Structure 1
Amino acid sequence: MWGKILGALFGLALFKLPGLLLGVLIGHYCDQWFKQRLGHWEGIQSIFGQDDEQALFMYSSFAAMGHIAKAKGVVTKAHIEQASHFMQQLGLTVQQKKEAQAAFRDGKAINFPFQSQIHEFYRRYKKRPDVLQLFLEIQISIACVEGQIEQEQYQLLLQVANELNISKSSLEQLLLAYQAQSRFQQNRGNAQDQTKSVAAAYQVLGCVPEMSDVELKRAYRKLMAQHHPDKLMAQGVPAAMLDVAKRRTQDIQAAYELVKQQRAKSQ
């Protein structure tokens, strides 16, 4: 209603009676848009049972995933399966899944305000860099689902990184770490692929074999601190999303243990 009222007042002041009619029309469309957006927002907040901040995290995460999945114009089966798998991993209820799917559909819309949504997320979490990085990692997971990241998706990831004040070099490192994490999970425990596992483990840690043990441990501890579930929860990450951080810390720890074993054998 406020859209029509404000539109009518501005229109009347600027263009007299024709402006009044035009203002009412424009205000009507604004009211409809805000009603639709607010409906999704209130729904996801009430069903997830969280405060505004955590509801923003959940909505922004799934909406951005939908937008990145639609980057080339068509959402593939692999993207839908990845999003569904992600919802299952989070342990969402049936109703929560419906709201997450609604957010995903919002993101796929041509007129979805992607940049403003990410900017709003940054505005609320800008003093918590570990949370911002976790959000970017979630978006990387949907972009890399088919193995080869598309240029359109990379540009959207770069846009997310820019809005979150994360450098391009940091984005590149996160992409390499995510891809290495996937290879590490596939090769772990396979004796025939031990060399590949060790190489992937180094990349998961963001390290190189030439690093000293002290440097390796420092990098490991930094990664563990960034993804510690308790720390992230205290910084406003919804409880459902903590499983993402927990699995990441498990992979980091497993990669570190494998590198330590390989180094002990070579001494």
Structure 2
Amino acid sequence: MSIWSRIADALSALTSGEALSEVFDRLRTPPERSVAFAIAVIALGAKMAKADGQVTRDEVTAFREIFTIPQQDAANAARVFNLARQDVAGFEEYAKRIQRMFSDDKGTLTDLLEGLFHIAVADGEYHPNEDEFLLRVSEIFGLNGPCFRSLRARFVGDVAPDPYSVLGVEAGASMEEIRAAWRAAVRETHPDRMIARGVPEEAVKLAEKRLIAINKAWEEINMEAPQ
């Protein structure tokens, strides 16, 4: 059964009048967590679309870069998106329920936030409302601070990415600390580790761009270090 069929099953389990946000309280264990991950990206992406006031073709394309959606399953993805947009519950309620679900796994929450950044910048513009949205989501997820700055440095092209921010370390950190942060980041980016965290196989392609950015940051710092 494809992940989209499992999403359809999860949506059909909602009783009449229940909000989409209720689904996160029911998908707490593998393999359902991968279903929750996909629904979370779609739902928060829909809420974020309301933050900047529009859904562009680029943002839709960016979502399809994260998830491969067969034509026959497009309706299921669209249903999740529309349910989230129409739900009176605010994005903070969604984020809180998602945080409770993945409270034992900061890695998955980071993967989710990364997916939202990928969608936010897809149209070539990072709207101030999107920045506020993502910062608040990161705070609810418990990822504000170095993690948020690291993702923002990688995705937002207003300035050249700071390699220290990409690795989530201070500029004054020792080479030992920086090397440890780089190795940990590479380890957490391995596809097997991501799938084990509950990230659907369809979304693991996010790791490709992440690994390139991580290794580039390490190389830049390493080249500048005294030999």
Q: Which TM bucket (shorter chain)? A: 0.7 to 0.9
Which of residues 21, 32, 35 in structure 2 aligns to 1:52? 32
Corresponding residue of 2:144: 167
Select the structure of larger CA radius of gyration.
1
Corresponding residue of 2:53: 73
Q: Distance in 2 between matches of 1:169 and 1:220?
A: 14
Corresponding residue of 1:24: none
Which of residues 183, 194, 197 in structure 2 aligns to 1:235? 197
Cα distance change, pair 117–208 in 1 and its aligned pair in 2 (3 A): closer
Cα distance change, pair 111–92 in 1 and its aligned pair in 2 (3 A): same
- Alignment of 1:134 with 2:118, yes or no, is no
Q: Which amino acid aligns with 1:81?
A: D
User: 1:177 touches 1:206 (CA, 8 Å); kept in 2?
Assistant: no
Cα distance change, pair 112–81 in 1 and its aligned pair in 2 (3 A): farther
Name which of structure 1's ranges 52-61 and 166-175 shifts more when overlaid on structure 2: 166-175
Which of residues 81, 87, 94 in structure 2 aligns to 1:117? 94
User: 1:131 touches 1:237 (CA, 8 Å); kept in 2?
Assistant: yes
TM-score by length of 1: 0.63
User: 1:122 touches 1:164 (CA, 8 Å); kept in 2?
Assistant: yes
Q: Distance in 2 between matches of 1:72 and 1:179?
A: 16
In structure 2, the gaps of 5 or more residues are 1-13
Alignment RMSD: 3.4
Corresponding residue of 2:17: 33
Q: Which fold has the larger relative contact order, with Cα–Cα distance below 8 Å and residues 6 or more apart in sequence?
A: 2
Q: Distance in 1 between matches of 2:95 and 2:68?
A: 25
User: 2:51 touches 2:129 (CA, 8 Å); kept in 1?
Assistant: yes
Q: Distance in 2 between matches of 1:66 and 1:242?
A: 21
Corresponding residue of 1:219: 181
Q: Distance in 2 between matches of 1:158 and 1:200?
A: 18
Q: Distance in 2 between matches of 1:212 and 1:62?
A: 39
Which of residues 92, 97, 108 in structure 1 aligns to 2:85? 108
| CA deviation map 1:208-242 (0-9, x unaligned) | 77654323312211222332321221122211121
Q: Which amino acid aligns with 1:238?
A: P
Which of residues 51, 62, 72 in structure 1 aligns to 2:42? 62
The sequence identity of aligned pairs, in percent, is: 22
- 1:65 Cα deviation after fit: 0.7
User: 1:158 touches 1:168 (CA, 8 Å); kept in 2?
Assistant: no
Which SS does the other structure have where 2:51 is aligned?
A: coil
Name which of structure 1's ranges 60-69 and 106-115 shifts more when overlaid on structure 2: 106-115
Higher helix share: 1
Q: How many residues align?
A: 208
Corresponding residue of 1:17: none
User: 1:91 touches 1:240 (CA, 8 Å); kept in 2?
Assistant: yes
- 1:259 Cα deviation after fit: 4.4
User: 1:87 touches 1:97 (CA, 8 Å); kept in 2?
Assistant: no
- 1:138 Cα deviation after fit: 1.4
Which of residues 209, 218, 223 in structure 2 aligns to 1:247? 209
